[in-house]
Structure 1
Amino acid sequence: MPSTTPPPRIHDDLVLEPRDVQFDWSSLPLHWIPDEPFATHTINVLHLLLPEGERWFVRVFSDALPMITDDRLREEVLGFIGQEAIHAEAHQEVLDHLLGQGLDPRPYIRQIGWLFHRVLGDKPGLTGRRRRENIIERVAFVAAIEHFTAFLGNWALNSPGLDRAQADPTMLDLLRWHGAEEVEHRSVAYDLLVHLDPGYLRRMRGMLVSGPLLVHLWVRGVRFLLAADPELRGRIRPTWREAQVQARRGLLPDPKAMARSAARYFKPGYHPTQEGSSSQALGYLATSPAARAAATH
């Protein structure tokens, strides 16, 4: 099997800053891409998955902190933890808004919570080497998921189709602010994994588990939201064909492009800095209404 070595420190100047952003959802319509409930709810799955998922990221990385022997990487991990905690709260606010509009996300959220707490959570009975292995295995899952979040973040930053469709500007800012931070810190989880285990097998296993699981949760999430939407009353059912149509219109990421991106993760010479543009991400963060407002405070 191929093996990997720690990547060159090509982002030594990375300083991750948690930006305490605030969004006003009081005027957000249920279908924030006008007349496009399928695309709206396909993206809305982010709000279902991310609050519990990113709180899990924080717990995993907090468990890994005592195992880090590189001071610079430790600082990056602390910055990552701060950013992910704010991401979770920002998306939680959208869930609360959906509930106020008559779409109850709690049945699906309970299932996601069970997954991250009971299946992927800490195992209290483990000690010593077995606990260390469990933490590294969960870091490998986070690294693989972060590859997808960086892909989605890069798509959000380069999605003029949403502007053409007159998507709600506050939601667009949330997606692009979050996407920019995902691109900004896209290397941290991978670098932590390589620091703890530079082997290829762990990285491969992380993607083989996390990739199919993420697709499964996303499909289930779209089905749930379309069925729970009080305005649709079950009239729309999701299909891969419709997802491709919406992707060609620029309203959704291209599933084929996402699959090609996942395949790159398996290359022995892969590093997350090959995905997306840090300068573009930082450029958006300098102009994001929410990020600028947070900076003034």
Structure 2
Amino acid sequence: MSGQPLDVDGSDPGPVELHARNVTFDWSETPLHWIPDHPVASNFISVLNLLLPEGERWFVQTYNEALPLVADDELAATMRGFIGQEAMHAEAHDHVLWAFLDTRGIDPRPYQRQMEWIFRKVLGPRDSGTPVARQKHLVERLWLIAALEHYTAILGDFALNNSWVESGADPGMTDLFTWHGAEEVEHRAVAHEVAVYFGDSYLRRGRAMLVVLPILLLLINRGFRYIMRQDPTVRYNFFQRQYHYHRGVRAGVLPKMRKIVLATFSYFRPGFHPNEIGSTAQAVAYLAASPAARNAG
């Protein structure tokens, strides 16, 4: 994994050894609308708690399947660090489902069953077929993960550079998403490097992105509408939801969806590398100061 370009800010943080960080959170006092005066923004970000646990477990399962096939010791060590971090993300967000959403009137079970079907049945490993077919299926899944990690890196950079703190957002939920986002920026190149190792193909890269983008947008939108329907405190129609969404974007507590979609085009540039997104130095600095990580330590 040597020879990677510098971060987009021109800095070179040097080698970073990936490792899982223990974290601990207390959701007993966190309100459902954890960004004050922004119920739509709060619910929109909370959708990630519905989506991430099964997705992160799928990452871990796929990488555990691929790891024995990697002969590069440095890449294998990085993959193990990635697996540890993603497993911790799944555990942290899964806890939010039951200690936060479920206790505040948002039943996560129906949506979770859908996520289990997608990530365990549709995208799970194939037990049948020839070894060549199973290997090809593994490579396709690795490229899907690389495409998804493009968006987690973009969202991670947003988590490190938004206005949640200035808006008085709940410290615990702010730390959860910023800690997670910082680790996504820290390990943003791993999925790309692994996919390249198994099958460097511009066609595979582009095809995976064309699959991932519409599905990701669909799942986020579906999750948002699900939470808004169950939210016992707000009853907004479509136009009110749109107004409050754009209000959250202007306040810096929500990412610009247009910016995220446009960032897709950078992924199709032949010379693209994930280090173009975010700053490793900024991510590592936050991870050293994260209250949840320090409390667990």
Question: Could you state the TM-score of these two structures normalised by the residue count of structure 1?
Answer: 0.93
In the alignment, the residues of structure 1 paired with residue 171 and residue 237 of structure 2 have an alpha-carbon distance, to the nearest angstrom, of: 25
Q: Paired residue for 1:149?
A: 152
Q: Paired residue for 1:284?
A: 286
- Residues 234-277 of structure 1, C-alpha deviation per residue, up to 9 Å, x if partnerless? 43447556433321211100112111211101000000011100
Does structure 2 conserve the Cα–Cα contact (< 8 Å) formed by 1:41 and 1:222? Answer: yes
SS of the residue 2:52 aligns to = helix
Equivalent AA in structure 2 for residue 267 of structure 1: R
In the alignment, the residues of structure 1 paired with residue 267 and residue 251 of structure 2 have an alpha-carbon distance, to the nearest angstrom, of: 27
Structure 1: gaps (5+ residues): 1-5
Q: Paired residue for 1:89?
A: 91
- The offset of 1:35, in angstroms, is 2.5
Aligned residue among 202, 205, 218 for 1:203: 205
Aligned residue among 127, 130, 136 for 1:127: 130
Compared with structure 1, are the counterparts of its residues 170 and 210 closer, same or farther at alpha carbon in structure 2 (3 Å cutoff)?
Answer: same
- Residues 36-59 of structure 1, C-alpha deviation per residue, up to 9 Å, x if partnerless? 211011101110110000000001
| The 10-residue stretch of structure 1 (88-97 or 181-190) with the greater mean CA deviation from structure 2 | 88-97
Does structure 2 conserve the Cα–Cα contact (< 8 Å) formed by 1:7 and 1:271? Answer: no
SS of the residue 1:285 aligns to = helix
Percentage of matched positions with identical amino acids: 48
- Residues 115-170 of structure 1, C-alpha deviation per residue, up to 9 Å, x if partnerless? 1111111111133110100001000000000010000000010002x223211011
Q: Paired residue for 2:256?
A: 254
Q: Paired residue for 2:9?
A: none
Does structure 1 conserve the Cα–Cα contact (< 8 Å) formed by 2:41 and 2:244? Answer: no
Aligned residue among 107, 112, 117 for 2:115: 112
1:36 and 2:38 aligned:
yes
In the alignment, the residues of structure 1 paired with residue 130 and residue 233 of structure 2 have an alpha-carbon distance, to the nearest angstrom, of: 51
Compared with structure 1, are the counterparts of its residues 7 and 211 closer, same or farther at alpha carbon in structure 2 (3 Å cutoff)?
Answer: farther
SS of the residue 2:165 aligns to = helix
- Residues 41-95 of structure 1, C-alpha deviation per residue, up to 9 Å, x if partnerless? 1101110110000000001111111221211000001100000000001011111
| Residues 218-297 of structure 1 aligned to structure 2 (within 5 Å) | 218-232=220-234, 234-237=235-238, 242-294=244-296, 296=297
SS of the residue 2:228 aligns to = helix
RMSD: 1.6
Q: Paired residue for 1:137?
A: 140
In the alignment, the residues of structure 1 paired with residue 73 and residue 243 of structure 2 have an alpha-carbon distance, to the nearest angstrom, of: 48
- The offset of 1:12, in angstroms, is 6.9
- Residues 3-35 of structure 1, C-alpha deviation per residue, up to 9 Å, x if partnerless? xxx883458723101001110111111111122
Question: Could you state the TM-score of these two structures normalised by the residue count of structure 2?
Answer: 0.93
1:8 and 2:3 aligned:
yes
| The 10-residue stretch of structure 1 (234-243 or 256-265) with the greater mean CA deviation from structure 2 | 234-243
SS of the residue 1:85 aligns to = helix
In the alignment, the residues of structure 2 paired with residue 251 and residue 104 of structure 1 have an alpha-carbon distance, to the nearest angstrom, of: 25
- The offset of 1:107, in angstroms, is 0.8
In the alignment, the residues of structure 2 paired with residue 221 and residue 257 of structure 1 have an alpha-carbon distance, to the nearest angstrom, of: 20
Equivalent AA in structure 1 for residue 233 of structure 2: E
* Count of residues paired in the alignment: 288
| The 10-residue stretch of structure 1 (218-227 or 29-38) with the greater mean CA deviation from structure 2 | 29-38
Compared with structure 1, are the counterparts of its residues 9 and 91 closer, same or farther at alpha carbon in structure 2 (3 Å cutoff)?
Answer: same
SS of the residue 1:226 aligns to = helix
Structure 2: gaps (5+ residues): 6-12
